[in-house]
Chains A and B, each alone.
Chain A
Amino acid sequence: EVQLVESGGGLVQPGRSLKLSCLASGFTFSNYGMNWIRQAPGKGLEWVASISSSSSYIYYADTVKGRFTISRDNAKNTLYLQMTSLRSEDTALYYCARKTTEGWFAYWGQGTLVTVSS
């Protein structure tokens, strides 16, 4: 069974940093591109970042480019999102999701909540 378990969320002050993790199991992690997607409270979904299976291709939404860094450790079956210069508008539930080659998200984690507030 595919499982994605996010961790690392919490309350952080504006301008500070936070690193999220997503531990994958139930599939060969190194074969799949992975993504971070966020959802502000009561709002819709926003794609944040994408990383290919071997980390060769990395893409970011314009709203986080230059502040967030996606990475992965295939030996540890873990996806990361390093977030810096956090803003109140980054407050959201952050999901990791496994993307198919074609582009839809077949599997999602349960999310980890990031709250940016002083």
Chain B
Amino acid sequence: DAGVIQSPRHEVTEMGQEVTLRCKPISGHNSLFWYRQTMMRGLELLIYFNNNVPIDDSGMPEDRFSAKMPNASFSTLKIQPSEPRDSAVYFCASSRDVGYEQYFGPGTRLTVT
């Protein structure tokens, strides 16, 4: 079975541009998590969904960040406008349900210049 799929794997953009990161969870999983990893702050949970509904977005750093899950097989994390401090690796993870093991995707390395 395919694991969590993220695209793109690498994204380089200029400050002020809109960035959209994409995630396809493992089929049959109904919980989805977005994380951000930086050297300074480590791994941080940004938001998580259960059955396509955002449950907790308290980790979203500011209004420039938004996440959607229009169906069980697709989620997006959007940053508009992007800033250099948004440069990080963004991971998507999914689990069978809340409380079960989370499987991480390979991540998207975002660089904002």
- The reply to whether chain A is a binding partner of chain B is no
A residues adjacent to B (C-beta < 8 A): none
